[in-house]
Amino acid sequence: MLTRKQHELICFINDRLEETGVSPSFEEMKDALDLKSKSGVHRLISALEERQFIRRLPNRARALEVLRMPERVANAKKANVAPPSPPATIRTLPQPANDVIEIPLHGRIAAGVPIEAFEGQSMLAVPAALLGGGEHYALEVAGDSMVDAGILDGDYALIRRTETARDGEIVVALIEEAEATLKYFRREGAMVRLDPANRAYDPQRYAPAQVRIQGKLAGLLRRYD
């Protein structure tokens, strides 16, 4: 059972996708649902995503896909009956707006041998659709050991801050408080194994006390010159 706002939002997203083929911006969703801030939209999107009504499409700005609709709306469409009308605010569409968030850019991180991370700090503008809930930062990728995971030299890895990870997740691992690397995280007996996604590189094994998780991969940003 969805909340009223969740129901309004998924109907709004679905109607816009059917009309234009493009997801509405977070600003449009905020105004359509009469919310005070875009953080409310982020919470609603995350809730719908967790309940598998929608999903974010990676590496595309403002890209949402509706996986399923609430049952009574879906049944109404099958019966060729108009679903319940949303509130009037849903029908009042503002002018399109780009929804961009600035997150800290902490320097370069190795996708090969570990190198120093967090060399400095500037800001990177990122489409909000690439990020979920939580606090994020970006790192510029250096190296080619994650190419088979689609992570290339010069990409910007968008990282959600966390100190824990599950097997198979791509993480930023700080090794002996000195060097950081971007790798698949796995547990191997009493050891931690950091796996590359390139056969030219070997896995790296460390004692758990040598490795500290600083975040896990949330998305990628690639620039084409």
Q: What is the pLDDT of residue 83?
A: 54
Top-confidence residue, 25 or 218: 218
Contact of 221 with 158, CB cutoff 8 Å: yes
pLDDT surpasses 50 at 114: yes
The answer to which of 32-41, 64-73, 210-219 has the lowest mean pLDDT is 64-73
Q: What is the pLDDT of residue 97?
A: 42
Q: What is the pLDDT of residue 90?
A: 35
pLDDT surpasses 70 at 112: no
Is 39 part of the annotated catalytic residue set? no
| Residue range 123-175, pLDDT digits in tens | 888 888 778 788 898 998 988 989 999 999 999 999 999 999 999 999 999 88
Q: What is the pLDDT of residue 159?
A: 92
4-89 and 101-221 share one fold: no
**Residue 75, C-beta contacts closer than 8 angstroms, at least 6 positions apart:** none
Core vs surface per residue 165-181: b (16+ CB within 10 A) or e: beeeebbbbbbeeeebb
Which is the catalytic residue, given 23, 30, 145, 216?
Answer: 145
Mean pLDDT across the stretch 101-121?
Answer: 67
DSSP element (H, E) containing 12: helix 4-20
Q: What is the pLDDT of residue 95?
A: 39
Q: Which CATH number applies to 101-221: 3.40.50.920, 2.60.120.10, 2.10.109.10, 3.30.450.30?
A: 2.10.109.10
Mean pLDDT across the stretch 9-29?
Answer: 85
| pLDDT band per the 50, 70, 90 thresholds, residue 27 | confident
∠ CA 168-172-178, rounded to 5°: 135
Q: How high does pLDDT run on average in the chain?
A: 79
Domain segments of the chain as ranges: 4-89, 101-221
CA distance 196 to 119: 23
pLDDT surpasses 50 at 115: no
The answer to which of 21-35, 76-90, 108-122 has the lowest mean pLDDT is 76-90
| Residue range 62-89, pLDDT digits in tens | 578 888 887 655 555 555 555 554 443 3
Which is the catalytic residue, given 23, 25, 30, 183?
Answer: 183
CATH 1.10.10.10 fits 4-89, yes or no: yes
The answer to which of 77-81, 126-130, 194-198, 206-210 has the lowest mean pLDDT is 77-81
Mean pLDDT across the stretch 211-220?
Answer: 92
CA distance 91 to 147: 44
- CB hemisphere CA count around 137 (13 angstroms): 18
Is 183 part of the annotated catalytic residue set? yes
DSSP element (H, E) containing 39: helix 38-50
